[in-house]
Amino acid sequence: MHYDYKTTGTCSKKISFDMEADGTVRNIVFLGGCPGNLQAIPKILEGWNADDIIERLSGNDCAGRGTSCADQLAKALVWAKEQANA
């Protein structure tokens, strides 16, 4: 299933991704933000399980903002899992 998540507290404005029924995450795309980092994150995480991504990225902070693009991806995946189970 395809998801679009509106971020908060970061330079990126939206994260789009696909999550399969088994939790595999593919096609992560960040809209806005730091191009180098936000092109690398999807390459590294392509094919990972959502739970593993959530575990590793939750709570990452960018410059004292209380969140980061990586943390927002974790939040997006939690949200997508909730949507899939609703």
Domain boundaries, the chain: 2-85
Say if CB 83 and CB 55 are below 8 A apart. no
Tell me the CATH number of domain 2-85, given options 3.30.230, 3.30.70, 3.90.1010, 3.40.50.
Answer: 3.90.1010
Query: What predicted TM-score, i.e. pTM, was given to this entire model?
Result: 0.96
What pLDDT digit, counting tens, does each position of 31-76 carry?
999 999 999 999 999 999 999 999 999 999 999 999 999 999 999 9
The values of phi and psi at residue 39, to 5°, are: -90, -30
In 3-state terms, the chain is what percent helix, strand and coil (to 5)?
40, 25, 30
Q: Where are the alpha helices (DSSP H) in 1-86?
A: 35-45, 50-57, 69-85
The alpha carbon dihedral of 28, 52, 55, 3 has a sign of: positive
What pLDDT digit, counting tens, does each position of 16-41 carry?
999 999 999 999 999 999 999 999 99
Q: Give me the residues paired with residue 19 across strands.
A: 25
